[in-house]
Amino acid sequence: MSSDINERVEENLDEPATQRSAGLWRDAIRDLRKRPTVIISLLVILAVLAIGFFPSLFTSTNPKACDISLNKAPAAPGHPFGFSHEGCDYYAQTIYGAGPSIQLSLMVVTGTLIIGGLLGILAGFYGGWLDVLFSRAVDVFNSIPFLLGAILLLTMFRDLQIPFLSTRLQAIIPAVITLIIFGWTSTMRLVRASVIEARNLDYVHAARSLGASNRRLMFRHILPNAIAPVVSLIPLSIAGMISVEATLSFLGLGVRKPEITWGLMIDDATKWFVNGYPMLLLIPSAFLIATVLAFVLLGDALRDALDPKLR
């Protein structure tokens, strides 16, 4: 009987927190719908996601089917972007180049959210030696120069072969592992700070006094109110990972050939920019910049909309 009463009381305690969280999201959505930049960013993001996951809907040309006689040929009917220096259809390569970048970014962000989010919840909720341990681990990883660490790990993973994976996954997994290793720290620190702030609220103390378990406190009471800053971080993280992947691929350390990415296309096109073929560089660069800018604008808008102080 007493346990049933406690559960009902806890549910009543959940209602103010749930209502507060729902009200925050309702106000945020109402605010976002009024911003033209958000609508445009969402349309661009949806288009890029469709291109990345369903490229065959946008072109029927094989991006790896090349004819050297068409070396750097200009645009022609059915080939709006012309041809690469290897005689490949540049429009098809641009379309298919979105896939590895988008898929890698989503995999990395998912991995960093799981690892960093879990460690941040544990560190912020329990504190003490666990918080010190995780915080020092963050300091250690942040003290390693990113580029140096990435070069080291990607060199180690260059010949990594994982059974049962497709050719594309074999090409991007080393970069995914490397970016997760160096990318979880910012998520952990943000979640930790949010949990520390939320764990001291009155309804959390009331639920604890009624005998709520630590797991219930973390995932039922604290997490819903600590998740908003993390949500605004997701688009910004995706934008950052797309930029980092392009940079690593440009340096020959990211996604490996024969896969096609915007970073690899930019790398191949740099030598032709000053030789009368600037479009080979400008086309993938424009797609990359538009994609990153769309995610950044959406992330900034989410951060402003989910922060009552900024509103």
Burial class (CB in 10 A: 0-12, 13-18, 19+), 74: exposed
Look at residues 273, 258, 267 and name the one whose alpha carbon lies nearest to residue 64: 258
Give the three-class secondary structure for 88.
strand
Own/partner long-range contacts of 271-278 (Cβ < 8 Å, ≥24 apart): 272/72, 272/85, 277/72, 277/85
Nearest-10 crossing angle of helices 228-250, 279-306:
160
Q: In percent, how much of the chain has pLDDT > 90?
A: 9
Q: What is the mean pLDDT of the chain?
A: 80
Domains and CATH numbers, the chain: 2-306 (1.10.3720.10)
H or E element that contains 212: none
**The pLDDT of residue 241:** 87
- CA-CA distance, 72 to 59, in Å (whole number)? 19
Q: Record the pTM.
A: 0.81
Note the pLDDT tens digit of each residue in 137-176.
888 888 888 778 877 888 777 666 666 666 667 777 888 8
Note the pLDDT tens digit of each residue in 186-202.
888 888 888 888 777 77
- CA-CA distance, 220 to 67, in Å (whole number)? 59
| pLDDT category of residue 295 using cuts at 50, 70 and 90 | very high
